[in-house]
Chain A
Amino acid sequence: MIGYALRRLLQAIPTLFVVVTLSFFLMRLAPGGPFDLERPLPAAAMENLKRIYGLDQPLIVQYGRYLLSLAQGDLGPSFSFRDLTVNDLFARGLPVSATLGALALVVALALGLALGTMAAFRRGRLSDRLIGLGASLGLAVPTFVTAPLFQIVFGLSLGWLPVGGWEGGSPRNLVLPVLTLALPQVAAVARLTRSALNEVLAQPHIRTLRAMGLPPYRVALQALRGALLPVISTLGPVAAALLTGSVVVETIFGLPGIGRYFVDGALNRDYTLVMGTVVLVAVMVVIFNLIADLLAAVVDPRLRLGA
């Protein structure tokens, strides 16, 4: 299993290489530079700045240097946040985004699995239909609608929770952003669980268990094991997306995560910050896809042969 994991990580290196190369040159093709201010800098100052950041070198040299420092885990200095490196920025923002994302993931899994199981066991009844309706609503309402709605209802009208801010990660400040992030995922997990369970519940081994008189919750546990597979296989990209932060949620709730870095970095032509974010997301996708595949092998023994 460890050998398999290592092989998968090695296989990911070409992909990461393509990602880095594509984004590096794509960005440099674009007009404008990181030091273009509304009032242009004096030519000498511009020269100096470019020399300090190595932008005076030919593009291919810059690319080589970037790859070299990237291989050592150094993402370079940020152009828009002076005196800070991209690593510093991530060290500050990633814990915030990752905390929110991890909590949202837990909520999504717990609620989604519970609701999906309930719907599958009450197939065709009112609760099944209500859950189905709720799930399609949850999938259709974008976070940039739910977030301000939550702020108005729970923050301003009812006054139960703060409308935004981080405050060192106090639980009260986390509730609304986590709920906003989790809601579409709850709906997705519930839908997947329901359809997968419906398929498993029709299989002979479940009928046997029922015939043997097992209590419903034991049947549910047994069936869930078979139904978990499709849920797990979609979880990789979802987890990566959740943990690397959401522009919308972090902007609306005013959270100091890394979700904003990409858009801000792109707007400011902060080459290293944009590159860093792209690399971070790509690495996260690779890692979480691997974890999802390993988990799938744990749940389904048939998948272990391939590994």
Chain B
Amino acid sequence: MITLAVPRGPSLAALARRRLVRNRPALAALVMLIAVGLACLLGPLLTGHAPSRIYPDLVRVKPSLSAHPKPDAVRPAIDRLAFRMRLTVEEYSVSDHTVRLTLTSPKPINERSLSYLPRSDLFGPARVLERAEYGRRLVVEAPIQRLYFLLGTDVVGRDLLTRCLVAGRISLLIGLTATLVALLVGVAYGAVSGMLGGGGDALMMRIVDILYALPFVFFVIVLLVFFRAGLWLVLVAVAAVEWLDMARIVRTQTLALKSRDFVRAAHALGLTTPAILARHIVPNMLGPIVVAATLLVPRVILLESFLSFLGLGVQEPATSWGVLIAEGSRSLESAPWMLGAPAGFLVVSLIALNVLGDGLADALDPRLSEPS
């Protein structure tokens, strides 16, 4: 038995990885995407706010790094609460994140009314330190809450950062899932069409041509309006629009690969057509498929956000970047950060995906020789 020592060259994947690492913008884009993805996945658990938690006293808070309530907002808030509790604030002092109040009333004070304090989001539960004048005078201490709204709050007082991150989950999920569906349908259709050749291929591509001419976005809108929009319907609709390009790319590649010697050899060895497709054709065009898929994700996300902006896509209580942008553009004058925050997330993700796609296209291009 003779064994031949065949020198193994680096695989295409290894080469591509090396080239990608050297492409600094693409690498930065990849890191950025992972960061955004992780933030959306884990971030909502860390911000300390539930996405639907409403802080009625903290509406349209500007983005800032400092805690809320701000020191100068404590006194007006106390006055407002005292008015509601029908008490008079006789003394007032703030120290070390607690507020100490001396409250008076002509009648004995019902201490249950102190629950107004924690209910206002701004203060913690109050503790009574002293009772005097038969309960007509109370000294009370309550901790001041320390709430952080890094990106501010929206018009009803929800934390915008948490909402952006939760929305990002939906936007990214739709982007990935719809791309996956488009990918599967497009690859299968294109590969079969290319493999069939002749009349079958001509017919299948004629169908694609007709579908191309349809105003597809319009059909998606009709579907969404008439059959009640749901997240999964949006997904399917978006995928239905986007698989055509993939089918064309895959078909061209299949046609080129089909006549190559190794495929003919596989045929001669008696492999069935599906086996050849799965073993030889599809793996050999992973490069272009990966590139097309990467560039498809931003288009899907953009389409979804467009539909959601029109109010046809993701519906309350679920939210996506498109929904948040729509909300933000409606209150742009009073709270510009409501547009800026979700738009920032969307734009950064889209740019990163595009840059990564271009980088992958370069890295996976076998024509480019390895610069040593």
Contact = CB atoms under 8 A, between A and B. Distances in A.
A142 B222 contact: no
A286 B212 CA distance: 11
B219 A142 contact: no
Contacts of A139: 350, 354
A97 to B, nearest CB: 15
A140 B310 contact: no
B310 A281 contact: no
B339 interface: yes
A32 B219 CA distance: 17
B134 interface: no
Interface residues of B, number: 34
A130 to B, nearest CB: 14
Contacts of A18: 210, 214
Interface in A132-189: 136-137, 139-142, 144-145, 147-149, 151-152, 156
A266 B219 contact: no
Residue of B210, B215, B221, B326 ringed by the most chain A CB atoms within 10 A: B215
A22 B219 contact: yes
Nearest to A267: B225
A19 B211 CA distance: 9
Given A19-B213, A266-B225, A145 B351 contact: no
Contacts of A137: 347, 351
Interface string B312-340: 10000000000001100100110010010
Contacts of A141: 343, 347
Nearest to A129: B25
Interface of A is mostly: helix
A12 interface: yes
A266 B307 CA distance: 14
B347 A140 contact: yes
Interface stretch (B104-112, B191-199, B230-238, B298-306): B298-306
B215 A144 contact: no
A282 B210 contact: no
Interface in B164-210: 209-210
A30 interface: yes
A15 interface: yes
B309 A282 contact: no
Interface string B217-228: 011011101110
Interface of B: 209-210, 213-215, 218-219, 221-223, 225-227, 298, 302, 305-306, 309-310, 312, 325-326, 329, 332-333, 336, 339, 343, 346-347, 350-351, 354-355
Given A30-B227, A263-B310, A266-B226, 8 more contacts: A18-B214, A140-B354, A145-B346, A148-B332, A149-B339, A156-B333, A266-B222, A278-B215
